[in-house]
Amino acid sequence: MDRNDVFARLPEVLLPWYEEHKRELPWRTDREPYHIWLSEIMLQQTRVEAVKGYYARFLKALPTVAQLAEAEEDLLYKLWEGLGYYNRVRNLKKAARIVMEQYGGEFPRDYASVLALPGIGPYTAGAICSIAFEQAEPAVDGNVLRVISRLTDDHTPVDLPAYKKQVWDSLRRIYPRRAGDFTQALMELGATVCGPDKKPDCKVCPCRDFCAGYGNGTADSLPVKLPKSKRRKEDKTVLIFSCDGRYALEKRQEKGLLAGLWQLPNLPGKPDLQDVLGSVEQMGLKTKDVLRVTQRQHIFTHVQWDMQGVYIEVAEPAGGFLWYTLAQIREHTALPTAFRQFLEELTDV
């Protein structure tokens, strides 16, 4: 069976399989474009089980695009806290404002207009247009690329843009009338039976009879990917200042990694304790006691932070910082996981 025949078989096989085997997920209960958009943005780099709670909380706080467009930044960050990649939620608000201002609050229906919204790439645009509006617009992500590479026994690196474009073109030609179900069926197959970081479960795969990778015994070795670039490492010293049950926080700069979010005060590198205390004095704080020093790590996509945390009790809440209790931090401030982990040693924040 050649490549075109493999693609042609997909709708007739996957649609009935999806009806029988699809997972019950909260964003599959309707075809509201706001819900589909929000779920797809949240699911980027994040597991389905982790997203469920965030999705419910976000929609409870901001049930409409209009409310998202007007939401305060601190509320958005708090709702997103722990999901990471905070630029996603900033772009959600930017896009919501465009929907309100340029489209009268109605989500645009054509692919080009959806794709032009901030934070929406070809995959998300395809997901919205196919699932919400039944348009023949493929949503090609890592799951779909993995499925297609195995079905066609293609050893081209799937992270090459040309390969993704080829798959997108091939899928677009065979999209059925039930476009939304077909998009979700491909997603479901790639997330479960033909899932990432495990051997494909070929014995239950609906495509086994025409899968070239299965037939040739190569499915386990696919997909092929380009070598990853080495992650950069940075040393940091995180300062956990406490005074009378309150802890020092400050806002990060508006550009760069974790832009605009709260952080614990920190220093570059890992200076020795005497140098740390000298820096504390320069910040306008008087050290009463050094409580302890811990070592932690946090991994971003391209950067790894190796951190020492220095817990310091100070004489008074000074230094130009804002001082909050742990309860206030838990309820009102969006503190990235990289910093929050140091407070979790004290209590469940």
Q: Which domain holds residue 285?
A: 232-344
- Could you tell me if 88 and 144 lie in one domain? yes
Q: Is 349 helix (H, G, I), strand (E, B) or coil?
A: coil
Whether 125 is in a domain gets the answer yes
pLDDT of residue 349: 44
DSSP 8-state code for residue 83: T
Which parts of the chain register pLDDT below 50?
Answer: 348-349
pLDDT of residue 347: 64
Question: pTM of the prediction?
Answer: 0.89
The 10s digit of each residue's pLDDT in 122-180 is 999 999 999 999 999 999 999 999 999 999 999 999 999 999 999 999 999 999 999 99
Write the DSSP string, 35-81.
Answer: HHHHHHHHHTTS-HHHHHHHHHHHHHH--SHHHHHH--HHHHHHHHT
- Could you tell me if 158 and 63 lie in one domain? yes
Q: Per the residue annotation, which of 19, 40, 137, 313 is the catalytic one?
A: 40
Residue 345 annotated among the catalytic residues of the structure = no
Please count the structural domains in the chain. 2
pLDDT of residue 318: 95
| Domain containing residue 274: CATH number | 3.90.79.10
| Domain containing residue 74: CATH number | 1.10.340.30
The reply to whether omega before 122 is within 30° of 0 (cis) is no
Is residue 225 within 8 A of residue 296, CB to CB? The reply is no
Q: Which of 215, 100, 197, 54 is nearest to 150 (CA)?
A: 215
